[in-house]
Amino acid sequence: MKELQSSKGQVSIIFHMQKIFPDEWKNFLERMGYQNFNELIDDGKEEEIRKKFNELIDDGKEEEIRKWASFRGQTLSRTVRGIMYYRQALKLQALLEMPEYKDVLEDVNVFERNNPKSSAELDALVDMKFTYVVSCQMFGSHKSSGDPRAEDVKDLMIRYPALRVAYIEEKEEIIGDKPQKVYFSILAKAVGTFDQVLSQSSFLNIIRLMLN
């Protein structure tokens, strides 16, 4: 959020994005229940927009704002979402090829709600065909330092179960009575709740790296 509110010259990044995507921003505000922003945007009153923008954050809309901004820049969030459309397409194809559902015309989401068992079977089938691995070299250091970017990656892993994250973990071990840094290459997936995402059970592979 600090990055969105920081200034590029005399204009904040979020204000700049509102100007680039005015219709999409208005639609977003309407979904959030804030129609009174539109006149401010049209008039270009950034100071007033800043105040109203803070109201959105105070009302607990911070995550929705971040998603809206992320999906309109070349960010990891947008890239992952775009790649995951391939998985949705594979699932739709698998659904249409099932003999008992070949004539289904309803929305896939509606089908999943009405047929949870068949939906689980489709997920298992698609998971055999599709996995997306993202290399986040700095994720380990972000996680250990409490950087909010680590929480964003964990959120992506929860949102997209087919996502795998590869990263480097740095630890300190006592070797020969001296503390030394050791490094591990880890491949992880989402398991359980948000707090359990990076528990030991979520690690698919752990390889200790041998350094000279």
pLDDT: is 103 or 47 the higher one? 47
What is the CA angle 181-185-190, rounded to 5?
A: 125
17-32 residue pLDDT tens: 777 887 887 888 778 7
Q: Would you state the pLDDT for residue 146?
A: 84
Separation CA 203–CA 160 (nearest Å): 16
What are the pLDDT digits (tens) for 106-126? 566 666 666 666 778 888 889
- At 164, the pLDDT band (50, 70, 90 cuts) reads very high
Interval 70-84: pLDDT, tens: 777 767 888 899 999
Instruction: Check residue 124 and give its pLDDT.
Output: 87
**208, pLDDT greater than 90:** no
User: Considering Cα of 72, then 74, then 80, then 85, what sign does the dihedral take?
Assistant: positive
Predicted model pTM: 0.67
Sign of CA dihedral 139, 145, 148, 154: positive
